[in-house]
């Protein structure tokens, strides 16, 4: 099977799920968007659930790749707070470049669906392990003089604070009459999130 065609199907499905949500999109529509027929699509994915998992799985793998790169930095680069800042900045950039994922997330939250939760379980432990790795290195470089906080809670807080900026951007744009997703606004928000996370990760 062609990997290029498989990726083309995933791209088409991602756009469709972002626009309409999982439940409102059929295989036939996804096939049409990908420029193929339904029979061809079924050669690559046995059903819509498997295709949905491929869409989200690719996104989660990309995030894991970011964490892996950060966790493999040389020890001397782990000065206090620098790597945490790098992780947050890179994840914010990733979300900004992958807003379709956020739209998919909104659709599923509106439906109170557990699809994303079920798929996320396959990656969750790796998120924890990689985050634990670079947070531990960073704390050791700081001389161990800082209080240890739950890595799990730091991860949840970091994900929540970064994602919520994009989800609430339209609201604050209306309130402040200013685009919240300009490069300048994103940089401002990154700095604010880093300050919050570092306060939770390290206590003077």
Mean pLDDT per block of 10 residues along the chain (204 residues) reads: 89 95 94 95 95 94 90 66 85 94 85 81 88 78 59 83 91 92 94 84 56
Q: Specify whether the CB–CB gap between 190 and 92 falls below 8 A.
A: yes
3-state secondary structure of 19: helix
- Please provide the size of the chain in residues: 204
Give the domain ranges of the chain: 52-201
Biggest CA pair distance of the chain? 61
Instruction: Give the predicted TM-score (pTM) of the model.
Output: 0.83
CATH among 2.40.50, 3.40.50, 2.60.40, 1.10.357 for 52-201: 1.10.357
What is residue 26's predicted lDDT score, i.e. its pLDDT? 95
Phi/psi of residue 115, nearest 5 degrees: -60, -50
């Amino acid at each position: 099977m062609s990997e290029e065609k498989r990726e083309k199907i995933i791209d088409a499905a991602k756009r469709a799920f972002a626009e309409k949500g999982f439940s409102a999109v059929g295989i036939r529509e996804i096939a049409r968007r990908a420029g193929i027929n339904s029979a061809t699509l079924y050669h690559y994915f046995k059903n819509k659930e498997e295709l949905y998992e491929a869409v989200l799985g690719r996104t989660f793998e990309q995030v894991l790749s970011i964490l892996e790169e950060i966790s493999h930095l040389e020890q001397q680069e782990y000065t206090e707070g620098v790597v945490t800042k790098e992780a947050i900045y890179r994840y914010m950039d990733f979300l900004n470049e992958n807003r379709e994922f956020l739209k998919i997330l909104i659709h599923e939250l509106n439906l109170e669906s557990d699809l994303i939760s079920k798929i996320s379980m396959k990656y969750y432990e790796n998120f924890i392990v990689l985050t634990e790795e670079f947070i531990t290195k960073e704390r050791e470089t700081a001389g161990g003089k800082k209080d240890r906080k739950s890595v799990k809670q730091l991860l949840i807080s970091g994900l929540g604070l970064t994602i919520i900026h994009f989800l609430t951007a339209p609201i604050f744009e209306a309130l402040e009459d200013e685009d919240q997703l300009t490069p300048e606004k994103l940089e401002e928000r990154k700095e604010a999130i880093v300050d919050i996370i570092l306060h939770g990760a390290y206590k003077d």
